[in-house]
Structure 1
Amino acid sequence: MAGGGSSSGGGGLKNLHSREYQGHKKKVHSVAWNCLGTKLASGSVDQTARVWDLHSGSTSKNKDSGAGAGVGVTELKGHSDSVDQLCWDPKHADLLATASGDKSVRLWDARSGKCSQQAELSGENINITYKPDATHVAVGNRDDELTILDVRKFKPIHKRKFNYEVNEIAWNMTGDMFFLTTGNGTVEVLAYPSLRAVDTLTAHTAGCYCIAIDPLGRYFAVGSADSLVSLWDISEMLCVRTFTKLEWPVRTISFNHTGEFIASASEDLFIDISNVQTGRSVHQIPCRAAMNSVEWNPKYNLLAYAGDDKNKYQTDEGVFRIFGFESA
């Protein structure tokens, strides 16, 4: 399943293609890989999440033999509104968390498809992320409120309402720092667990929408409404470069497993893959609609992506795709 070449120029990406996975009834808002890179979860406006076991069948050889070949799918049902974001337990390959507009957060076991824990929060949830040691989950809602849940008891241990727009949220690799991207174009850096303000980084000239942490712990990247992606040295808290290929607000970004590439997507009809060190674009994946979510596999050069795809009747296709397959 060794997707993609890893030449530093990215030339190995040119000969790869995407495979489509169908199953949701409405558009897919979020895609995420488990910690082993063997399963992918997708969350949709159709109020369900799905877990796709990509390790079975021909997929493990990374050869294309038709969409969905040898893929097992588990449907996670229970939410009564859109599943806007989901994330996997960083230490357990079968546990994941979902955040929904129905104000609830749920923990699931992908093996049984059953919800194991549920918390009712105060607003429509739009962001969720695990602490790297898997002990806490952070949830952000449309009312700019942050809730931190203890995973074991699944009860809130911190709650904070902000007086500015809070978008995506992330912990650093060691879990002692917490980042908030804001509508003011700043990244707020908080100490964890105290949530004491440590720094305000003036990152962009417009709202910051998304954030990703480099898997090697060197950088974090921020995507903004100004169509730029900025790359920050995490130890110095300094911007080291920007990526300028997109022309629309950046909705979603992801580092690959080696920290060599960064993928970014927006309403532009392509996903840009750039070299982190040079800032140069090495490949662009064409797409037919605005993208909602991109995420690299934690072990291979396989990029999952999902957006607002519609069919010829202008209804949601409910698909996601994975880029990085070699031709059979």
Structure 2
Amino acid sequence: MAPPARPKLNLTTKERFANHFAPLRGQAYTETTTQQRGGNQDRDRNHTIRSIAWNPVGTLVATGSSDKTLRVWNPEKPNIRSSTELKGHQAGIEKVAFNPIKDAELCSVSHDGVVKFWDVRTKACVNEVKGLGSANSLAWAPDGTSLLVGNKSGSLYRISPTQSAILSSHPQPVETSQMSFCWSGQKVFLPNRDGEVRIVSYPELEPIAYVNYDAGESTEFVLKGHTAPCLTTELSPTGRFLATGGADAVICLYDTQDWICQRTISRILGPVRSISFTFDGRFVVGGCDEGSGIEVTQTETGEHVHTFKTAGPCDTVAWAPTRYCLAYSDLGILRIIGVDADRK
């Protein structure tokens, strides 16, 4: 296992944040050396990181790629020899996520229709669930006892890390993108291709609120903040804001008390594929597949704080759960900014 995480930095103001990160550069975690590549450019083009996930204590980072590569990294040791490759999927990996209460249990979702559960200490696949179609989204329930998996056909499946059979299936009227749970585990936020976010109960996946009209009719209450498909959601660690990212290149921040969109973030250049908050919820970033840079925004004010310069588009971003370290994909490789890779 990796060394314990370092103490948190006090970067509560945007000035401190910008001053701290301005001189830093992202550390590259490369899977091959120049000699090993041997000029195989096709392999490099196909190796696109689709998902990044930290374990709950911030000591491991997992990456899933379009070429079926699933790897777990020690963030303090960027050399590939310090990483672990997990083999078994027959198609590209769309999503990876650690169990929120177990630092060594990893789940991976692939287009092969199989969800696999791994013990990263032993490299063993400890369970798998088949027959999920072209799966492309995944969210753990906060207690770590079950998960939701979505596929491109619009179905959601509730599964268990300890059972090979699907617990329940829930066809959706519109394809659902990357969902997220509330911290109590009683509600799930489901973004869809209509640009809306449904709020449903868990595990039933039934609407929890309706809008009543004078004529006695009612309709399901949904969040409407995007003019194009809503692609992802993320709840802040404090639970105060729900962030939604859309194909309209906008992040909406909803207050979870009254469900009003308090502000929008529009500095992103393309569809928002992922969203991540810092551990304290004070700052948020979005990942997209256009442009070259990651924009950091102060959650409470909506003010721009800092831009992380990158070599290319970064559609996958993930803040560490315990400190100010940002993992992101850049030209097909993992980079982390804010980690001291030279620390002994």
Deviation digits for residues 152-207 of structure 1, max 9, x if unmatched? 32432221111212111111110000111111110011011221112311121111
Q: Secondary structure at the match of 1:292?
A: coil
Q: Is the 8 Å Cα contact of residues 16 and 325 (structure 1) preserved in structure 2?
A: no
**Pairing partner for 2:84 from 70, 74, 88:** 74
Counterpart residue number, 1:268? 291
TM-score after normalising by structure 2: 0.85
CA distance in 2, matches of 1:300, 1:50: 22
Which of 153-162 and 181-190 deviates more?
Answer: 153-162
Say yes or no: does 1:107 pair with 2:117.
Answer: yes
Aligned partner letter, 2:134: E
Q: Is the 8 Å Cα contact of residues 29 and 79 (structure 2) preserved in structure 1?
A: no
CA distance in 1, matches of 2:10, 2:296: 13
Unaligned runs of 5+ in 1: 60-66, 310-317
How far 1:16 moved relative to its partner?
A: 2.2
How far 1:42 moved relative to its partner?
A: 0.4
Counterpart residue number, 2:184? 174
Q: Is the 8 Å Cα contact of residues 17 and 326 (structure 1) preserved in structure 2?
A: no
Which of 199-208 and 2-11 deviates more?
Answer: 2-11
How far 1:220 moved relative to its partner?
A: 1.1
| Pairs aligned (count) | 308
Q: Is the 8 Å Cα contact of residues 257 and 298 (structure 1) preserved in structure 2?
A: yes
Query: Relative to 1, partners in 2 of residues 1:253 and 1:141: Cα closer, same or farther, differing over 3 Å?
Result: same
**Pairing partner for 2:335 from 303, 321, 328:** 321
Query: Relative to 1, partners in 2 of residues 1:48 and 1:247: Cα closer, same or farther, differing over 3 Å?
Result: closer
Unaligned runs of 5+ in 2: 1-5, 33-42, 209-220
TM-score after normalising by structure 1: 0.89
**Pairing partner for 2:149 from 107, 126, 139:** 139
Say yes or no: does 1:234 pair with 2:222.
Answer: no
Q: Is the 8 Å Cα contact of residues 30 and 80 (structure 2) preserved in structure 1?
A: no
Query: Relative to 1, partners in 2 of residues 1:110 and 1:240: Cα closer, same or farther, differing over 3 Å?
Result: same
CA distance in 1, matches of 2:8, 2:183: 25
CA distance in 1, matches of 2:311, 2:242: 28
Q: How does 1:128-277 map to 2 (within 5 A)?
A: 128-198=138-208, 199-266=221-288, 267-277=290-300
Q: CA RMSD in A?
A: 1.9
Aligned partner letter, 1:276: T
Q: How does 1:1-40 map to 2 (within 5 A)?
A: 1=6, 6-9=11-14, 10-11=17-18, 12-23=20-31, 26-40=47-61
How far 1:268 moved relative to its partner?
A: 2.1
Aligned partner letter, 1:36: V
Greater relative contact order, per chain length (Cα 8 Å cut-off, separation 6+): 1
Q: Is the 8 Å Cα contact of residues 65 and 93 (structure 2) preserved in structure 1?
A: yes
Say yes or no: does 1:53 pair with 2:71.
Answer: no
CA distance in 1, matches of 2:124, 2:340: 35
How far 1:235 moved relative to its partner?
A: 2.6
Deviation digits for residues 104-138 of structure 1, max 9, x if unmatched? 00000000111000110231111111100001111
CA distance in 2, matches of 1:146, 1:47: 23
Identity %: 29
Query: Relative to 1, partners in 2 of residues 1:273 and 1:154: Cα closer, same or farther, differing over 3 Å?
Result: farther
Structure with greater strand percent: 1
How far 1:323 moved relative to its partner?
A: 1.3
Counterpart residue number, 1:313? none
Q: Secondary structure at the match of 2:83?
A: strand
Q: Secondary structure at the match of 1:166?
A: coil
Q: How does 1:90-129 map to 2 (within 5 A)?
A: 90-129=100-139
Say yes or no: does 1:292 pair with 2:327.
Answer: no
Counterpart residue number, 1:315? none
Query: Relative to 1, partners in 2 of residues 1:70 and 1:4: Cα closer, same or farther, differing over 3 Å?
Result: farther
Counterpart residue number, 1:63? none
Q: Is the 8 Å Cα contact of residues 233 and 243 (structure 2) preserved in structure 1?
A: yes
CA distance in 1, matches of 2:302, 2:205: 33
